[in-house]
Structure 1
């Protein structure tokens, strides 16, 4: 018999604005980062085969906290939605708080098992994307680049974009980074993403 899907029962647990609000630092969690409007919420929803697990906002950049989703059948296994970055017009002091919070999270969070960096396949490897990958590299964490909205390109152009990102990342010595095309609309690449995240979380898939 196939094993139960580990992701379909994912549910919201909490939103943290400070380190004190994070769950106990045990088990395993996978973080998802991405610039505003890169398709991070849609990717999380597709991963978990839910329509509204992570809200897809019409106003980019509204995620202002670390949002935790738990997998009820697997205690201390979490998906973490990091704050979007790009279009949100917020006070400079709040931006500074986010940067310090995220930097400390990557440096100190022992449960963190991997990082998925979500990028629009048409506009990859912006400064924020490289900063997130840099955090993973400094920590020695595995990272996976998800090039979303692949349906906006032809198959040949999408493959070329994946190859170009792989070449660019190959220059960063010591980085263990996977790269794949992905579309939440067509579900292309969902199974590959699920396999990566399940592996990091130590989950068996059917």
Structure 2
């Protein structure tokens, strides 16, 4: 497979990135005509900040001191005319919401992963200070069973020392190799410092346009 370049990733997000809709159900999603890359992670993993850094738009994805506010699939068009879509998935693991609402989110996530034919990859965000937690393993198992390609992206890389980050990357890469649907290669990022953002943009471009 021919690889892309960092410039491909930069150009992808140099144009418009616009909010399209929020979908509490699959039938509200736009027709499956464009490739989609979804972003998933625990509710306090820094997903909104990373989406803002990825797209270069400070206010694209709303950040909140209350984890778990995103209750729907948030759809963003990338490009003009749109060439792909970013999907911000509901955070998992913790939510300021009743259990029945959380259960509905879980069904929505499962249905989306199993039934969205244009979904090319999921970016699975993991806080590099903590590594995989049990709830992350549950999502990885769900992705494996759904045969959805996913790439592990570490957040908050600026919060740990380089030696600790290197050790965490090695340990997590060993664990990821045991997962059938995990895409090879981890990306360490920092929304605050910009670390790994160019590489993440390239990963999105390759997933959307070169396939898994």
* TM-score normalised per structure 2: 0.88
1:82 matched to 2:89: yes
**CA apart distance, 1:160:** 0.9
Name the CA shift for 1:178/1:128 in 2 (closer, same or farther; >3 Å): farther
Residue 178 of structure 1 aligns to a residue in which SS? coil
**CA apart distance, 1:70:** 0.3
In structure 1, runs of 5+ residues without a counterpart are none
Residue 87 of structure 2 aligns to a residue in which SS? strand
RMSD of equivalent CA atoms: 1.9
Give the Cα separation in 2 of the matches to 1:135 and 1:87. Answer: 18
In structure 2, runs of 5+ residues without a counterpart are 1-6
Name the CA shift for 1:35/1:61 in 2 (closer, same or farther; >3 Å): same
Corresponding residue number in structure 1 for 2:147: 140
Per-residue CA deviations over 1:38-66 (Å, capped at 9, x if unaligned) read: 01111111111111111111211111110
**CA apart distance, 1:136:** 2.6
Corresponding residue number in structure 1 for 2:186: 179
Give the Cα separation in 1 of the matches to 2:133 and 2:39. Answer: 16
**CA apart distance, 1:90:** 1.5
Give the Cα separation in 2 of the matches to 1:29 and 1:173. Answer: 21
**CA apart distance, 1:173:** 4.2
Name the CA shift for 1:84/1:173 in 2 (closer, same or farther; >3 Å): closer
Corresponding residue number in structure 2 for 1:6: 12
1:201 matched to 2:208: yes
Runs of 4+ deviating beyond 4 Å: none
Q: Is 2:70–2:90's contact at 8 Å kept on the other side of the alignment?
A: yes
Give the Cα separation in 1 of the matches to 2:197 and 2:26. Answer: 31
Per-residue CA deviations over 1:144-198 (Å, capped at 9, x if unaligned) read: 1111111011111111111110111222346434312111111110111111101
1:190 matched to 2:197: yes
Residue 129 of structure 1 aligns to a residue in which SS? helix
Corresponding residue number in structure 1 for 2:24: 17
Q: Is 1:26–1:76's contact at 8 Å kept on the other side of the alignment?
A: no
Give the Cα separation in 1 of the matches to 2:181 and 2:70. Answer: 31
Corresponding residue number in structure 2 for 1:118: 125
